[in-house]
Each structure stands twice: as C-alpha cells, then as structure tokens.
Amino acid sequence: MQRPARVAIDLGAESCRVSLLRWRDGKPAIEVVHRIPNGPVHRGGSLLWPLGSILAGLEDGLRKAAAAAPEGIASIAVDGWGVDYVRLAPDGKPLREPFCYRDERTVAVKDAADRLVPPFDLYQRTGALPHRINTVYQLLADSAGHGAEIVSRAPWVMFPEFILYWLSGRRVAEYTSATHTGLVSLTTGGWDAEVFRLLGLPLEAAPPIVHAGTIIGPLQGPLAQLGAFRETQIIAPAAHDTASAIAGIPASLDSAFYISSGTWSLAGSMIPAPITTRAALSAGYTNLGAAAGGLLFHSLINSMWVLKQCMDGWAAEGRNWPIEDLVTKAAACHAAGVLDMDAEALMLDSGMPARINAELTRRGFAPIPDVAGNEPLFARTIFESLAIRYAAAIANLERMLGRKLQRIQMTGGAARNKLLVALTEQHTGLPVTIGATESSTIGNLAVQLAASEAGGRQLSAQAVLHWAQRLCEG
C-alpha cells in the first residue's frame, strides 16, 4: 500500500504556499501545489493582512492537494511568520482583519510599555528581544485603541495557529511561535503570568501552549468531505516559520552560523541554554524556541524587504526587473555606500529608494539617483550592506559564545542569490553551505513525520533531523 501523502502550509509575508509530499517507490517528492501572493494591505489608515483572500487561497490549495493525492493525506500542518495574531469574536469567527506587525501603532505603545517594565527585565524573563513588532506590544496597542475594552478581552490566536484552528476547531499556541510573542517565561516554558499582570494584559485571552509535534485533532468542515481528507489529522509543527526553517536543515548545526533569509534574515546559532546578558540585548539577539529542544539565538536583520519594496515601487512606474537580472547586473557594479540595515526607516513600507537615499546621506554617502538603469546599484548596495551586517552578527555571536564558528548554513529564498552568498563569504571569511529554498516546508513536514512516529511521545531532535535529511535527499 502506498504511504499516505502530507500537506505543509507555509505562510509567508510575500506568498503563502501549499505543498504536497507524496512517496514514489519509497522516495519523497515535494511539490508546491498552490501559491497565494501575499502582502500587507493599507485599509483605513492601518496596515493589515488580507485574511479573506489568504483563506480562500488556502482552500483552493487544499482542494488541489486532495485531487493530486488519491492515496489519502495523513496530516496537514501550518507554519508562518511570527508575531501577528487573529482576535476572535464570541462566535469563533475573526473579530477583524489582523494587523501586520509593521503597522506603526506599536511605536508609541512600546515606549509606554518600556516605562512600565524595563525592556531588560522583559528580556531576562522571556528571552525574546523586546522588538516593537512582538505580539506583546501589539496586544497592548489593542488595549489602547478603538473599542479597547471589548477587543483586549477577545481571545486571540497566532496567525499560523489560526489556520490550524480554522482546520481543526481547536485553538492553541504552539511553543516556538508563542516564544516570539515576548510573553513566554524562559524558566517554565508557559505564559509568564507576571508579565501579563504588569502590563495589564488578560491572560484568559491567550490560547493554551502546546509543543511542536502535537496532534491537534481531525480535519473538520467541508474539506473533510473530500476523499483524500477522510482520515486527515491536523498537526502543530514548529509554527514559527524560522523554527521550521531551521528544523528543515539536513545537517547538524554545531559550530554553524545559520542565516534563514527571506523578507527578514534570521542570523545566529542553536544554543542549549538562553543568553540574556546586556551584551546580547544590545547586539540585538533574541532567544526563541526551537522545534525539538534548545533555543534559536539570532538577530533579526531587515533583509529582502528593502529590495522587494524598491522592486514593487519601480514596477509601479514600469521599471520591471526580474530578481535574477538585478542580481546579475548588481554583480558588475560597486555599492554606493553601506546602509544600516537596522534603521527603523528601512523597515517601513513604500518609497523605499528615497528612504535608502536618506540613509545614505545620513551616513555621509552620495545618494543614488532613482532613475531607470540605477536599479542594480540599489540592489548591490543592499546586498553589500547585508553581507557586512551578517559579518557583524557573527563577530558579536562569537564574542558571546566565546568560540569561533566554522561555517555558515544559509536557507530560504535569498540563498538562491549567488551574489549575496559570495559577498557573505567575502565579508565573513567563512564558507557558506546552501540549504533548501523551501526549508520551512521541509521542517514542517519533518515534524509531521517525526510526530506521527512518536505517537504522542515527546518529539526527538534526532528524529526531526533524520526526516529533514530524508526529505532533502528525495
């Protein structure tokens, strides 16, 4: 009998993907069966996620997956970008379209929160770098906004887990994703009730935390009527896409520096115990849950967002550039200067070439005239600045760990960018190994397979690694 198929949903800020794993002659074959373009949308002065179109797209994708897998689909799991969440109305439906973490409502809220609880205290309690995008500041912003009383008591669920809830009817917070809220205690691994209390957030609105590999329950709703979905279980993978991406690397990460690169670059190492020193805080390092034990210790570096924003702006003016052409042409020019990739202005949306030029000027470099033909110059400047930022991240990390790292493991969309890889090798002096572009999908599926095998027992890191290796060989 043929082994059943599995579905991985990976929610990305630029696209959401439904992938199908099938077995042919005992060998795994993974195919993206549906891709839903995504991006935050401006509505009524806010920056939101288009939840309705994401759900409609996921339904199409799941129908396609069912049609392509007559042998049946054993499980579905969902991972996605961290920190955003959906509030639920009493009938269990979304209360409103969810905010995108880039919405500027958290800027003032973060300052107010810092006055209530010093960021270093929060960092020591939770390990999460107190970044203004974290869920904690967004929840606080809800308490300060319109209809605050109703909204701040409404149950919430992180974005990937909202999809798990939509598919299974059960509301949970998966641990890796929960750690990125900034509300999970490093000592207990559960919600830090004291932090909720100090900030005046209702603990009752938070979902129960489960671990990666938890079998949540059977698929429910109309999709469950499709033949392929008759016996499908919904599984919580490492719901934070970065935790899934790292779980999808088919190699041991001892002595390695990982860079999971897409809209953001998450650059760091796996560590056995948290590091929450002042040095780690000022170097911008966060401690987040990993799929099967240990912690992801990395800094969050603004990455392809900057280029994608430029490309979208240029395309709107008829200056269309496929990324491959930009990379090729960028290889032949010199950077106009070095950007501070952590500058707040470069994290916001729209008008990116002008933002880059303001940054260049601020740092004493000549701006790049934003005219047709200069696009590769912008790209080169971004790639060079990024590689320099990676080198600084490694130097900081080596200082904190007190040892040298031997190699870099790069995964995610940007790993296809040969120029960025070459610049990274040049600026860091370390060899780069390239992993899968869809590493989050590999990690998502590896956790599903390991979880099904474990049958309710704790997920083992070796089992996840074993499956990631098998899936990458396939």
**Residues in touch with ligand LFR (CB under 6 A):** 81-83, 101, 133, 240-242, 262-264, 266, 300
Closer residue to ligand LFR, CB minimum distance, 349 or 375? 349
Max Cα–Cα distance, the chain, nearest Å: 67
In the complex, what is the shortest distance from the CB of residue 118 to ligand LFR, in angstroms, rounded to a whole number?
22
Select from 235, 210, 214, 231 the least CA-distant residue to 76: 235
How far CA 173 is from CA of 50, 53, 367, 433, in Å, comes to 21, 23, 45, 33
Q: Are 183 and 160 in contact (CB under 8 A)?
A: no
Closer residue to ligand LFR, CB minimum distance, 139 or 300? 300
Closer residue to ligand LFR, CB minimum distance, 66 or 288? 288
CB burial readout 19-42, b (16+ within 10 A) else e: bbbbeeeeebebeebbebebebee
Beta-carbon contacts of 392 under 8 Å, excluding residues fewer than 6 positions away, are none
Closer residue to ligand LFR, CB minimum distance, 132 or 171? 132
Closer residue to ligand LFR, CB minimum distance, 69 or 133? 133
Closer residue to ligand LFR, CB minimum distance, 156 or 314? 156
In the complex, what is the shortest distance from the CB of residue 1 to ligand LFR, in angstroms, rounded to a whole number?
37
CB burial readout 278-301, b (16+ within 10 A) else e: eebbebbbbbbbbbbebbbbbbbb
In the complex, what is the shortest distance from the CB of residue 215 to ligand LFR, in angstroms, rounded to a whole number?
24
In the complex, what is the shortest distance from the CB of residue 355 to ligand LFR, in angstroms, rounded to a whole number?
19
Select from 252, 106, 239, 123 the least CA-distant residue to 172: 239
In the complex, what is the shortest distance from the CB of residue 139 to ligand LFR, in angstroms, rounded to a whole number?
15
Closer residue to ligand LFR, CB minimum distance, 14 or 60? 14
Closer residue to ligand LFR, CB minimum distance, 61 or 268? 268
In the complex, what is the shortest distance from the CB of residue 408 to ligand LFR, in angstroms, rounded to a whole number?
18
Total Cβ atoms within 10 A of residue 127 = 24
Closer residue to ligand LFR, CB minimum distance, 77 or 133? 133
In the complex, what is the shortest distance from the CB of residue 21 to ligand LFR, in angstroms, rounded to a whole number?
21
In the complex, what is the shortest distance from the CB of residue 177 to ligand LFR, in angstroms, rounded to a whole number?
9
End-to-end CA distance of the chain: 19
Select from 459, 461, 451, 440 the least CA-distant residue to 30: 440
Q: Are 287 and 443 in contact (CB under 8 A)?
A: no
Token output for 364 = 């004493």
DSSP of 84-95, one letter per residue?
A: -EEEB-TTSSBS
In the complex, what is the shortest distance from the CB of residue 182 to ligand LFR, in angstroms, rounded to a whole number?
11
Distance CA 364, CA 465 (A): 47
Closer residue to ligand LFR, CB minimum distance, 238 or 339? 238
In the complex, what is the shortest distance from the CB of residue 240 to ligand LFR, in angstroms, rounded to a whole number?
6
Closer residue to ligand LFR, CB minimum distance, 82 or 248? 82
In the complex, what is the shortest distance from the CB of residue 97 to ligand LFR, in angstroms, rounded to a whole number?
17
In the complex, what is the shortest distance from the CB of residue 129 to ligand LFR, in angstroms, rounded to a whole number?
9
Token output for 49 = 């996620």
- Going through 295-378 in order, the beta strands assigned E by DSSP cover 295-302
Closer residue to ligand LFR, CB minimum distance, 40 or 213? 40
